[in-house]
């Protein structure tokens, strides 16, 4: 577990403008959340004195958590509360390890816990233990059971809809809609977001495509997705598969590998979806191996989480700026004050207008030597 004191700084990655945007989450006159309904009886702290915030993230399979979520959250918290102490741990998809990490943070005296749960149901124990000690909990990206005090994520049903809409559009563009079936490779059953992605995709696929085979993938494992795709190829036959719904980019890598190992050329690959706008996913898109990914702007999610932590610690009203404030019902029937952000479909056509223009990746990061001969890089460089 990493712990450090945060001090005022202005890094190139965040800059003065982003710092002001993070502060605006607490001062904007738009939508707001309050802590009035929270059951946690936590001690109120001040920004001048600072307080201790713990961030627990779920896994390392997906590149986003270490590369973006953690540093964005830490930067935003440092700008909102320079005197705050920050602790961090990643459970690497281990439920027991996350529970141990949470207990260590509580023992160490964290005042707010920001929790990206490995397993939503198992996280209820952590939420209850924290709240029994007067420590409020922000559910981050995944909605933990147990009645978290606040929740920030993306509209996860909409993520699945965006993926499915893009896949159907690709099939129509290629003229293969109705010629065969698709394979659905969903995310981890222990991640409640995966169920939402799956439900959203099914809403769009219903009566529009035939689903030849469908899998849930433990731990979002690319290796498991590879094996599942190999099984689908054996069962259905390559000629029958016209598209693949992959719930994220990591699994898409395993899926593409299975198709290529089965002898499918890049030019003949069926459209494959993804999510998280991972760098390798973007590179597969420009090389023709993957059709799309879902871009979820992680910086505003992390900044909102930091602002929620500050709000819960200080007892001050949280202003959500331009973002709509709603409530989300968790699996226990608890209504959690929430901000849900909008996902964006990314194909080769809008890479420059999304992940590049937002500073998520530079052209140089995307167009390495292996990809400089792609049409995208020839035009961009």
pTM: predicted TM-score of the whole model, two decimal places: 0.82
pLDDT band at 318 (very low <50, low <70, confident <90, very high): confident
Q: What is the DSSP letter of 134?
A: T
pLDDT in tens, 159-170: 999 999 999 999
Do 244 and 273 form a contact (C-beta atoms < 8 A)?
A: yes
Q: How far is CA 21 from CA 114, 248, 357, in A?
A: 20, 29, 17
Facing residues of 88 across strands?
2, 55
CA distance between the termini of the chain: 41
Task: Count CA atoms within 13 Å of residue 34 on its CB side.
Answer: 2
Which of the listed ranges 112-116, 189-193, 316-320 does the model predict with the highest average pLDDT? 112-116
Closest CA to 332 of 189, 128, 117: 128
- State the residue for tokens 């089965």: 262
Mean pLDDT of the chain: 90
Q: How many helices (H) and strands (E) does the chain have?
A: 13, 15
Label residues 250-264 b or e (16+ Cβ within 10 Å = b). bbbbbbbbbbeeeeb
Residue 143: burial class (beta carbons within 10 Å; 0-12, 13-18, 19+): buried
Closest CA to 343 of 164, 202, 182, 170: 164
- State the residue for tokens 């890094």: 11
Asked if pLDDT for residue 296 goes beyond 80, the answer is yes
pLDDT at 33: 55
pLDDT in tens, 242-276: 999 999 999 999 999 999 999 999 999 999 999 99
Give me the domains of the chain, ranges plus CATH numbers: 2-154+297-341 (3.40.50.2300), 156-295+345-380 (3.40.50.2300)
How many Cβ atoms sit within 10 Å of the Cβ of residue 210? 13
- Taking the C-alpha atoms of residue 23 and residue 219, their distance in angstroms, rounded to an integer, is 35
- Report angle CA 23, 27, 33 to the nearest 5 degrees: 105
- Three-state DSSP at 1 gives coil
pLDDT in tens, 24-78: 555 443 445 554 444 555 568 999 999 999 999 999 988 899 999 999 999 999 9
Q: What is the DSSP letter of 206?
A: T
- Three-state DSSP at 319 gives strand
- State the residue for tokens 């191996």: 289
The phi and psi torsions of 234 (rounded to 5 degrees) equal -65, -40
Average pLDDT for 343-355: 97
Closest CA to 276 of 214, 180, 194, 189: 194
Closest CA to 130 of 213, 217, 41, 200: 41
Tokens of 321: 């700026």
- Taking the C-alpha atoms of residue 21 and residue 218, their distance in angstroms, rounded to an integer, is 37
**Residues in the chain, how many?**
381
């Amino acid at each position: 577990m990493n712990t450090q004191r945060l001090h005022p700084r202005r890094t190139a990655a965040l800059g003065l403008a982003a710092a002001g945007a993070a502060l605006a989450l607490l001062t904007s006159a738009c939508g707001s959340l309050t802590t009035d309904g929270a059951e946690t009886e936590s001690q109120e702290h001040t920004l001048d004195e600072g307080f201790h915030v713990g961030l627990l993230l779920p896994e390392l399979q997906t590149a986003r958590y270490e590369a973006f979520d953690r540093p964005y959250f830490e930067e935003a918290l440092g700008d909102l509360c320079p005197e705050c102490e920050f602790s961090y741990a990643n459970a690497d998809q281990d439920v027991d390890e996350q529970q141990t990490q949470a207990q260590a943070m509580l023992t160490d005296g964290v005042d707010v816990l920001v929790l990206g749960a490995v397993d939503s149901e198992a996280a209820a124990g952590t939420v209850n233990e924290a709240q029994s000690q007067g420590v409020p909990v922000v559910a981050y990206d995944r909605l933990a059971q147990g009645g978290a005090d606040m929740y920030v994520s993306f509209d996860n049903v909409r993520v699945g809809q965006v993926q499915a809409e893009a896949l159907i559009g690709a099939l129509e563009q290629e003229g293969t809609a109705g010629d065969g079936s698709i394979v659905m490779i969903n995310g981890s059953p222990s991640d409640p977001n995966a169920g939402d992605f799956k439900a959203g995709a099914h809403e769009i696929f219903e009566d529009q495509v035939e689903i030849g085979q469908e899998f849930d993938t433990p731990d979002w494992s690319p290796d498991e997705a590879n094996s599942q795709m190999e099984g689908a190829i054996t069962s259905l036959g390559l000629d029958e598969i016209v598209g693949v719904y992959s719930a994220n980019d990591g699994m898409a890598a395993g899926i593409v590998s299975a198709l290529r190992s089965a002898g499918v050329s890049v030019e003949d690959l069926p459209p494959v979806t993804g999510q998280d706008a991972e760098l390798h996913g973007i590179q597969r898109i420009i090389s023709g191996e993957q059709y799309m990914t879902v871009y979820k702007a992680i910086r505003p999610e992390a900044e909102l989480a930091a602002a929620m932590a500050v709000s819960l610690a200080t007892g001050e009203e949280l202003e959500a700026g331009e973002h709509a404030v709603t409530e989300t019902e968790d699996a226990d029937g608890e209504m959690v004050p929430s901000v849900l952000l909008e996902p964006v479909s990314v194909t080769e056509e809008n890479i420059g207008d999304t992940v590049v223009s937002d500073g998520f990746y530079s052209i140089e990061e995307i167009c390495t030597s292996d990809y400089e001969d792609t049409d995208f890089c020839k035009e961009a460089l």
